[in-house]
Structure 1
Amino acid sequence: MILLRTGCGLLALAIATPSLAQTPDAAELARLVQAQAAQIATLQARLDRLEGQQAAAAAAPVPAPAAQAAPTQVAQATPEQRRTVPFAPQLAPPGPAERNVAQAIAARENPSGVTTEWGSGLPVFHSADGVYTFKPRGRILADVSSSFGSKSDGRNLTTTGMRALRLGLEGGVGTHFFYQMEADFSENEVDVVTAFMGWRNRISPGLEYDVRAGHLFNDRGFEGSTGSDSTPFLERTTVATAIIPQRGFYGIGIMPRLFWKTGHASLTVTGDRVDGTQTVSDGRTFLARAHWNPIKTDNAVLHLGAWGFDESLSPAATTLTRNTVIGGRFNGALRVSTGPLLGGKGTTGYGLELGGYRGPLWIMAEAGRRDAQLDGGRPDFTSKAWSVSGGFFITGDLPPYNPRLGAFGQPKVKRPTFDGGPGAIELTARYEDLNQTDLLTGGSGWAATVGVNWYLNSFTRLQLNGIHWYTNNRTGDYTGGDSGETLSARVAVTF
């Protein structure tokens, strides 16, 4: 068909053009034959490409050029999770001439040369030269919680809530500059969370650093440094939620970090978190953490960690009152409270971490202390918390421990349900304790939790927690000893 159309075209061209109707000399004839051959090759390559698209899509992915597949820390997927395909598939016929024609056609249809690398649910975009990367990101964590057994009916609640509803982006320029920003909508209003720019580089083989500046998430404790989408339980331990700067988990500032083969260290200097107050000075927080893996093999890790912070409060934020989650985030009546506490000057806290994993079994113990300074000659007060957590993957998967950061990350599910496997199934248990009773209005409490996590793949999970809790508050609507149970469940997707 192609040859017939081409022959007709040449005949029409010869009739319409007197100069071509004449008998051409040898040079002219060679030029015509060469032009015709190029046209036939172009049309044949285009036809082959159209007929082969479906087969090419079903075939194994063609690796991207080295410049496009350069290693980047934007994508956190494993090689098994990645799939790199150009936006416009390019077929490469054996002949050099046909290869050049096919590449020319692809260049016209995809002049930018942008490629996409599929990781945890969403693509990472790469520029043709590999310099620029960009990735949308987000998380959806939907919870339901029911508490019962309390002596106070006001605590026996069934509620729903969005633990996180985030949208954001991350990217980089070259191998050194990177950025990230996320906003959360879980309380039906916009809350800026992570938002920073950074620079990373290698000092020597096995020794690297990065420096981030902006609205930063704390590097504080094992679960305190773990994102809400990666915690093995629906809520972090009392060490992470009570032994914390008054400003919370975020602050605007700078954080240099140093990484080596068996650990990392960080130093953070921040003011307050994102707000609209510029009429008084911000608070100031110094925070440092380090972790070390003296044992680190393919299926075993020993984790040691230590951290501490010192915080000077802003004149506009001297309230030290705290109501700490003990039996579920979405029951506002179920808290361990300090009672009303005004006139704070600052806080100091520190903690220790010890744990690790061997094969599918992991365990982690944390302990921390927070001292709060009050003005007016009043006595200071102390909060103490500790916890022991553990888990076991009955499907044989390894715990999602991140040795670079000394925290939990997204798991690497060996047999995802979307590929016909069982996913990864984890059984968990935890005991945690919080004591603030050296303050006259301070309360205490503890909780024992058992749970099960079903990871459908590396970014989708179902979680179920059963919690038996006890509180003894000295002020508020629910004073004295009280105990009960909370059953909570979560559906989570991180991308």
Structure 2
Amino acid sequence: MKFPITPLALALMAGPLCAQSTDTEKRIADLEKKIEKLTKAESKKEEAKESGVTVKFGGRFHLDAVQFDGARNRLPAGTFMRRARISFKAGFGKDWAAEGDVDFAESSVGIKDMWLGYQGFDNTLIQIGQFKAPFGFDTLTSSNATWFMERSYSDIWTPDRHVGIAYQTWGTRWMVKANFFGQAIDDTSDAQEAADSNTDSTGLVKSYKIIDNHGWGYAARAAFTPVMKSAAKAIHLGVATVTRKPNAAAPGVYAVDFSGRPEQNKVAREKFLNASVTNVDKWSQYGFEFVGVWGPFSWQSEYQQTKVFRRGTQMQKWDGTKLVATSAAEQAASVIDHKFDTYYGQVSWMFGGQRTYDQSEGLFGKVSPSKKGALEIVARYSRMNQDDLTAVDPVKGGIAHNLSVGLTYYLNKNVRFMLNRTHVSNNENAMANKAYSPTGSKLPYERFDIYSARVQVNF
């Protein structure tokens, strides 16, 4: 009985095997077709990248609410559209790229980034156009990725965006960027408009014609990562410098103005720090960065120093309508150099998300939250000194200390909600304009709290 059963059993087994073989061959054929289709699609993308134009649009809006508590000056609370931008990123073949960023906040249009770049060399970017000069870790960080609603005091005097040309290169543990620039687009336009509005309706000279060249400068920044276990475990050391000439202004003024607000938006526009120097030949700034991320914990700190170098003895000054002779005391004061500094340190702890470090930029990137979102607790101490009490020509711009705490919830990569509280403490020279005072006199030693909230969307 065994003999006839065995062929029968083999026949019964062969049927499913033949069917399985046929099914496998069909699956392989289908898979080959899918691979061929994907390969063709990728090939078309590469061809478009090499010879065509690709464009990606994006944008952001940051809607704020601000409340002041304890201020003796009249600082109005309210809501404010801090940013409302439309941006684009374009590619021209495989080696050329461009970016543009236009802001519509405050019921006006302003150009932010607008540049063309060549990236045909390995780990290299050459830019021409308007973009941020490489100085100031906090300033260089995108507003979509800053830990607090407003950057630290250091952002008051960093160069930010200017029209220029830059060269950037990087390796696995380092990056370097150098930049030569002129004035920002808005600075150039505003200065020209003010200069051309030369008379009022009666014919009285109230402004000036620009007779000097526009301001220019150069900057460089280098970053090194001595510890780089991963993008989520890295320690960053950075150094930067920038030297600038004054912007075009009234004849013989050559001014630099470091005035700034106490780390809050423009709901209340008054500036408590007010250092301003005229007859300036140039000013140089130096910055040092110590930054890191280690899992859920991150830290960021900077120290910056600014040195203002004066021109020769100032024999004439602008009185608002014309150049007039200076006094002997003004001539003696006009050659005194000045020095100011600032520093801050901030820490963060993340629940349910991760901040990462980008070596090619030498900066933090965006936070990547979990599917349930992420919660971040942050704290910052910052100080800016705009007092330089020299025996001759003392500058009393003020000293301000801020202590800030914040709570941020990341719904996803594109939406976050922020709550910040900042305690502001000013010295006797950091004072608001008397127009903000209920007494009509400037108020020294002002101390108050700022409570602020933000809804942020970027795409």
TM-score, structure 1 as length reference: 0.69
Per the alignment, residue 234 of structure 2 pairs with: 301
Residue 293 of structure 2 contacts residue 356 of structure 2 at CA under 8 Å; is this kept in 1? no
Task: Return closer, same or farther for 1:447/1:64 CA change in 2, 3 Å cut-off.
Answer: farther
1:489 aligns with 2:444: no
Question: Root-mean-square deviation (CA), in Å?
Answer: 2.3
Instruction: For 2:267 and 2:104, locate their aligned partners in 1 and report how far apart those are by CA, in whole Å.
Output: 19
Preserved contact between residue 464 and residue 490 of structure 1 (Cα < 8 Å): yes
**C-alpha distance in structure 2 between counterparts of 1:144 and 1:217, whole Å:** 27
2-structure distance, mates of 1:437, 1:128? 54
Q: 2:373 aligns with which of 420, 423, 431?
A: 423
C-alpha separation between the residues in 1 aligned to 2:168 and 2:243? 18
Tell me the equivalent position of 1:65: 41
Q: Aligned match of 2:340 in 367, 383, 387?
A: 383
Give the corresponding residue for 1:272: 183
Evaluate the alpha carbon distance shift between residue 158 and residue 129 of structure 1 in structure 2; reply closer, same or farther with a 3 A threshold: same
Q: Following the alignment from structure 2 to structure 1, what is the Cα–Cα distance between the partners of residues 40 and 405?
A: 45
User: In structure 2, how many angstroms separate the alpha carbons of the residues matched to 1:459 and 1:128?
Assistant: 27
Letter in 2 for 1:480: P
Deviation at residue 280 of structure 1 after TM alignment: 4.0
Report the secondary structure of 1:451's partner residue. strand
1:459 aligns with one of 414, 423, 433 = 414
Structure possessing the higher relative contact order (Cα contacts under 8 Å, 6 or more residues apart): 2
Residue 288 of structure 1 is matched in structure 2 by 220
Could you give the per-residue CA deviations for residues 285-334 of structure 1, whole angstroms, max 9, x where no partner exists? 10000111111123310110000001112442733233222241234355
Cα deviations across residues 443-484 of structure 1 (Å, max 9, x unaligned)? 010111110111111121111101111112536324411111
Q: Given residue 486 of structure 1, which amino acid in structure 2 is its aligned partner?
A: I
- The residue number in structure 1 matching 2:167 is 256
- TM superposition shift of 1:398: 1.7
Letter of the 1:161 partner, please give it.
F
CA distance in 1, matches of 2:427, 2:130: 36
Correspondences of 1:96-495 after superposition (within 5 Å): 127=48, 131-152=52-73, 154-155=74-75, 157-203=76-122, 208-242=123-157, 244-245=158-159, 249-274=160-185, 275-276=188-189, 277=192, 280-298=212-230, 299-316=232-249, 318-332=254-268, 335-339=271-275, 341-375=277-311, 376=314, 377-395=334-352, 397-415=353-371, 422-438=372-388, 439-474=394-429, 476-477=433-434, 478-495=442-459
Deviations 1:37-86 (A, max 9, x none): xxxxxxxxxxxxxxxxxxxxxxxx9798223555xxxxxxxxxxxxxxxx
Q: TM-score, normalised by structure 2?
A: 0.74
Structure 1 runs not aligned, ≥5 long? 1-60, 71-125, 416-421
Aligned CA distance change for structure 1 residues 68 and 324 (closer, same or farther; 3 Å): farther
Q: In structure 2, how many angstroms separate the alpha carbons of the residues matched to 1:405 and 1:64?
A: 33
- CA displacement at 1:348 relative to structure 2: 0.6
Match of 1:37 in 2: none
* 1:440 Cα offset (Å): 3.1
Structure 2 gaps of 5+ residues are 1-36, 193-209, 315-333, 389-393, 435-441
Aligned partners of 2:299 and 2:347 also within 8 Å: yes
Give the conservation status (yes or no) of the 8 Å contact 1:265–1:288.
Answer: yes
Cα distance in 2, alignment partners of residues 340 and 348 from structure 1: 15
Distance 2:239 2:168 in 1: 15
Change (3 A) 1:291 1:139: same
Is 2:261–2:269's contact at 8 Å kept on the other side of the alignment? no
Partner Cα separation in structure 2 for residue 270 and residue 200 of structure 1: 20
Q: Is the 8 A contact 2:300 2:346 kept in 1?
A: yes
Amino acid at match of 1:391: S
**Cα shift at 1:236:** 0.9
Find the aligned partners of 1:253 and 1:325 in 2 and give their Cα distance.
27
Contact 1:270/1:284 (8 A) holds in 2: yes
Question: Any conservation in 1 of the 2:273–2:400 contact (CA below 8 Å)?
Answer: no
Distance 1:386 1:132, change over 3 A: same
Q: 1:453 to 1:171 in 2, by over 3 A?
A: same
Do the aligned partners of 1:141 and 1:165 also contact (CA within 8 Å) in 2? yes
Change in CA separation of 1:130 and 1:142 when aligned onto 2, cut-off 3 Å: farther
CA separation of 1:64/1:168 partners in 2, compared to 1, >3 Å: closer, same or farther?
farther
Return the alpha-carbon distance in structure 1 between the equivalents of residues 170 and 40 of structure 2.
Answer: 29
SS at match of 2:155: helix
Q: Distance in 2 between matches of 1:353 and 1:313?
A: 26
